[in-house]
Amino acid sequence: MARFGKRSAPTATTSTGPIRGTTTSDGRIAVFRGVPYAAPPVGDLRWQPPRSHDPWSDERACTKFGPSAHQRAAGFEQFFEVLVSGLGLGRARRRALTTAIKLAPTRQSEDCLTLNIRTPRHAADLPVMVWIHGGDHTDGSGAEPMYQSNVLPERGCVLVTINYRLGLFGFFAHPELSAESSDGVSGNYGLLDQIAALEWVRDNIAAFGGDSGNVTIFGESAGGEAVLNLMTAPKARGLFHRAIAQSPSDSGRWLNLNRPMLDFEPATETGQAFAVLAGAASITKLREIDAKTLSALYTDNPHLGRSFYPVVDGVVLPTAPMTAFSRGDQAPVPLMIGYNADEGTLLAGFMHPAGAEFEAPADGSEVPPAAIRAALERSYPTTEQVDRLLTAYPGLGLGDLDARIDHAGDHMFGVHVDHASRCHAEQGHSVYRYHFRAVPASPKQTAGAFHAAEVLYVFDTTFPLVPAADDAHLLAREMGDRWFAFAVTGVPNAIGRVTWPSYRVDDAQQMIFDRPASNVASCSPQDGLDLMRQRIEWLNEQSLTTVRPR
C-alpha cells in the first residue's frame, strides 16, 4: 500500500518493486512519474508485444517523467501553426507562442513504456481514470503540460496518464513479424502497450488508493480512437468499466494487415517497402539500425508512414471498430462520447478534401475537382450519394476551404461519434453524448471550437501566453464535475447541474458545452452525417467480404 507521511515522500510497492514519488506543494496530492509498466521494448524486443518489467529491490525514484515515445512531429508543426494563427492573438504573442512550441524540450526514446499517477494523499478504493493522449498515434505523451492537473484527483479519483509506442515503433507490420507471433499477426504494438498499462493498473492501482474494479478509460483524438479500439479489442475486455471518447478520430480505421482498402496498401506491404528503403534484408537487420536513423527515414517518407497506425489484423483488432459497433461486438460499458463544433479548422488545410484516408499531394498543391469526385466515388457506393454529399457541403467538390473544414469535422469525428452512439444505444447500453462549442476568448479568433479545445476544460489547464475567457473557469468546473461523476457512477450528473439525459436513437439528446452556460439539445444528424453513416455500413460490408478494385 502507498504511504503518505506528512513530511516524507510518498512511497508504494508495486508488483515489480518499491517506488518513491513526490507531493504537490500543499501536500494533498501524491505524484508518481515515469513508473515502468512494461520492459523497455529495445533490441530484440523492438516490434514485440510488451513484456513484464524485471523486478527491482531497491526503492526506485519515480519523480521525473519518463521519455516520450519517438515522435513523427512533421504534421504537428502544421497543426500548431494553424492553431497559433487562429487564436486571434497579437503579433508579439503569436511570435512568442510559436517560439515556445518549437523550443519545448521532448526527451524521446524507445524506452518509453511508463505511466504517471496522481492520487489524493489519503486515497482508498477511489475510482480510477486512465488518460490516453492524442497525437494521431504518431506524437504526444502522457506528460504533456495540458494533462498536468490535480482537478480530477482533488475531486476524489486516481488519475493515470500513459505513454505507449507510436508510429513506426508502435504500429509497424511485416510478414516476418507476423511469423514470429504466436497469433500470426503484427503491427498493433502500441495498442498492446495500452492493454499492458491497463493490466498494470488492474494489478497495482490498489497500492495507490485506487479501485481496480472501477476503471474509466478516456482519451481525445487518437486517444479517443484508442478508447473505441480498446472497447472492441478482445484482449482488453474486463480491464475497464466505463469509457469516454473525446473526438475519436478516424486515422487508419480501414487499414488492414494483409489486403488493400480504399487508398491504404496492406500494412505488411508498407512494412516491407520501409525495410527495403532502410536497406535491411531482414527484421533482424532492421532491429540493428539506430532508432534515430529509422525515425528520420520515417519522417522523410510520409507516404509510407500513413500505414503505421492501428491495423485490422483479425486478432488484436478483429474488425474495424465501426464494424464491431455495428455488430455489437464492443464492450458493454457506459459510454460518454462527443466532438467539437469546429474540428476541421486546424486540419482541413493539409488533408485530402475527400477525407484523411486519401493521400493529399505531398507538395501541398490543391486537389483538382475531378480527383476529389473520383475519390468520393470510390468511397461511396453510388454516384447519387456523392451528389447528395456535395450538395450537403456546398463547394467541397471545388476544394473550397470552408466546405472542406465542415466536411473534415464531420467525416473524421462527427460520423464516428454518431455511429458509435447509435449502435451502442440500440444494443441497450448507456450512452451520454456531448457537443463542445466554446471558442477562444479573442474576438479576432478564427479557430472556433477547435480540435482538442475541450481538453483544456476537462483538465482545467491553459495554453501558455493565451488569455482565457473570463468565464472559462465556470465551464471547466462543470466539465470536470461531469467527467468525475461519470467515473464514479457511470452517469455524468452532479448536484446543481442540469440533468444530462442518456442518448436514445428515438430521442437523440446531447449536452451542449459552451460559455456561459451548458444546456441539453437535440442532436438529430443532417444529411451529410446520414450519408456518412450509410458509407460506414457499406465499408463494413466491403471490409468483411471483398475489397473494391483499386
Considering all CA atoms of the chain, what is the largest pairwise distance in Å, rounded to the nearest integer? 71
- CA 334 distance to own-chain centroid: 18
**Phi and psi angles of residue 435, each rounded to the nearest 5 degrees, phi first:** -135, 125
Cell numbers found for residue 93? 504573442
| 417 bridge partner residues | none
> Residues 142, 190: contact at Cβ < 8 Å?
no
Query: Alpha-carbon dihedral of residues 308, 312, 313, 317, nearest 10 degrees?
Result: 110
> Residues 70, 295: contact at Cβ < 8 Å?
yes
- DSSP letter (8 states) at residue 413: I
Contacts of 66 (CB under 8 A, 6+ apart): 33, 34, 36, 111, 112, 113, 114, 143, 163
**Active-site entry in 221, 247, 326, 518:** 221
Is residue 221 part of the annotated active site? The answer reads yes
> Residues 485, 492: contact at Cβ < 8 Å?
yes
Q: How many CB atoms lie within 10 A of CB 159?
A: 27
> Residues 68, 163: contact at Cβ < 8 Å?
yes
- CA 201 distance to own-chain centroid: 19
> Residues 513, 498: contact at Cβ < 8 Å?
no
- Residue 229 and residue 249: Cα distance in Å, rounded? 11
Q: Is 387 helix (H, G, I), strand (E, B) or coil?
A: helix
> Residues 29, 122: contact at Cβ < 8 Å?
no
- DSSP letter (8 states) at residue 8: S
The closest alpha carbon to 50, from 178, 176, 188, belongs to: 188
What would the DSSP string read from start to end of 464-495?
TT-PPPTTHHHHHHHHHHHHHHHHHHSS---T
What would the DSSP string read from start to end of 501-541?
PPPBTTB-EEEEE-SS--EEEE----HHHHHHHHHHHHHHH
What would the DSSP string read from start to end of 41-87?
--GGGTTS---PPPP--SPEE--SPPPBPPP--HHHHHHHHHHHHHT
Length, in residues, of the chain: 550
Q: Is 497 helix (H, G, I), strand (E, B) or coil?
A: coil
The closest alpha carbon to 212, from 224, 200, 226, 229, belongs to: 200
What would the DSSP string read from start to end of 234-250?
GGGTTS-SEEEEES---
Q: Which residues are catalytic?
A: 221
